[in-house]
């Protein structure tokens, strides 16, 4: 406890930098920082300016409270961090970076401290009743604050920072590739099921199908309309490479495959990649080959669009048997990433 009676003193950010929340005027500098860091660290994916514009538009996670950027005396962005959290979620997700020229001098540790404090504050804020709402029962359980971070296996400096700061690995994910110069496995749908191209009229039905399909997946939380809007309006989204399986008898979306393509990444990675961002099948439709049909359809669409590789990421402990399906269809693991969690003490009342 500090002299102000706080259980957790507010973390001090590096005084060599001037810190403030991200604003629209910072887009060029912010994107430049991320690009400089990515050029050295070579992540599979990184945020670009169009992605940052989406972050600034969020109402559930307003940038004014949930982002921070550090600028040097010349006005160059050198570090940034942000968190996101669903109001009813049991965790916050953190991300950020430090300019490679400024790494190794404690800025990353201080930035992590800011993310942890902001996570505590968000949990406290979200536990308060909304205006006009009932306060709830006296015995209502407020979840302990928890922050989740992600690293790729090659980023050992990040892993060392997280481990030394009390984080532990809670999940592994495999990035998997499948060359498109191979024959696509044959597959077909049961009568009454129809494969369609994803289009705007399917945005909401697929959101509902996604929430239903992923309710039994570890770490998944329901997507609200704002969060889903970021998916379907992603700058790299490719609805023309995405598919929906519809049950004609009920009008229910039984499954879906949403694809993206990062044209800029092809210049640095040396191949053109069709990426399956999301693949899901409602529980009551599983076991009928729908996921296989969707993946085969994606491969055909990717190949027709001039892609070299079909790719996706999978939770190594996925409960639906997805990993076995991907291997059966020719996908091979090429990279691994990890989710790290830390349970935090609540913010002082």
- Percentage of the residues of the chain whose pLDDT score is greater than 70: 92
Quick count: other Cβ atoms within 10 Å of Cβ 244? 23
d(Cα 214, Cα 200) in Å, to the nearest integer?
21
Which pLDDT does position 268 carry in this prediction?
86
- pLDDT attached to residue 187: 94
Note the pLDDT tens digit of each residue in 244-258.
999 999 999 999 999
Closest CA to 123 of 347, 348, 340: 347
Structure tokens at 137: 């029962």
Question: Tokens 């999301």 belong to which residue?
Answer: 278
| Domains in the chain: ranges and CATH | 18-150 (3.40.630.30), 183-329 (3.40.630.30)
Output 203-209 pairs: Cβ under 8 A, ≥24 positions apart: 203/228, 203/232, 205/244, 205/253, 206/244, 206/253, 206/256, 206/258, 208/253, 209/252, 209/253, 209/254, 209/255, 209/256, 209/280, 209/282
Average pLDDT over residues 7-13: 61
Q: What is the mean pLDDT of residues 326-338?
A: 96
Residues 187-246 pLDDT 10s: 999 999 999 999 999 999 999 999 999 998 888 999 999 999 999 999 999 999 999 999
pLDDT in tens, 151-195: 999 999 999 999 999 999 999 999 999 999 999 999 999 999 999
> Does residue 64 register a pLDDT over 90?
yes
* Model pTM score: 0.91
pLDDT at 173: 95
Give the pLDDT confidence score for residue 320 in this predicted structure. 67
Residue 75's pLDDT is: 97
How much is the mean pLDDT over the chain? 92
Strand order in the sheet with 168-179: 18-20, 67-71, 77-84, 92-98, 146-152, 332-343, 168-179, 309-315, 273-281, 252-260, 243-247, 193-197
Using 50, 70 and 90 to split pLDDT, how confident is the model at 329? very high
């Amino acid at each position: 406890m500090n002299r102000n009676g706080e259980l957790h003193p507010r973390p001090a950010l590096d005084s060599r930098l001037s810190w403030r929340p991200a604003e629209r005027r910072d887009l060029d500098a912010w994107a430049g920082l991320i690009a400089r860091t990515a050029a050295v660290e070579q992540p599979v994916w990184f945020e670009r300016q169009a992605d940052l514009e989406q972050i600034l538009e969020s109402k559930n996670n307003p940038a004014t409270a949930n982002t921070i950027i550090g600028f040097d005396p010349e006005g160059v962005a050198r570090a940034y961090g942000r968190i996101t959290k669903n109001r009813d979620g049991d965790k916050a997700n953190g991300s950020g970076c430090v300019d490679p020229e400024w790494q190794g001098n404690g800025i990353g540790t201080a930035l992590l401290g800011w993310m942890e404090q902001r996570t505590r504050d968000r949990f406290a804020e979200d536990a308060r009743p909304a205006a006009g709402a009932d306060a709830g029962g006296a015995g209502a359980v407020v979840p302990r604050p928890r922050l989740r971070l992600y690293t790729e296996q090659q980023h050992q400096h990040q892993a060392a920072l997280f481990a030394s700061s009390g984080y532990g690995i809670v999940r592994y994910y495999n990035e998997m590739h499948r060359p498109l110069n191979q024959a696509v496995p044959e597959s077909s749908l049961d009568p009454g099921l129809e494969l369609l191209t994803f289009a705007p009229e399917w945005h909401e039905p697929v959101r509902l199908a996604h929430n239903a399909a992923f309710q039994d997946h570890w770490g998944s939380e329901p997507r609200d309309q704002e969060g889903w809007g970021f998916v379907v309006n992603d700058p790299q989204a490719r609805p023309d490479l995405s598919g929906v399986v519809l049950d004609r008898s009920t009008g229910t979306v039984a499954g879906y495959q949403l694809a993206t393509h990062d044209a800029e990444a092809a210049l640095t990675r040396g191949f053109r990649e069709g990426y399956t961002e999301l693949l899901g099948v409602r529980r009551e439709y599983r076991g009928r080959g729908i996921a296989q049909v969707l993946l085969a359809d994606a491969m055909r669409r990717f190949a027709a669009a001039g892609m070299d590789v079909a790719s996706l990421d999978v939770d190594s402990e996925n409960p639906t048997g997805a990993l076995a399906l991907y291997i059966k269809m020719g996908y091979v693991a090429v990279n691994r990433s990890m989710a790290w969690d830390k349970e935090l003490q609540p913010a002082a009342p």
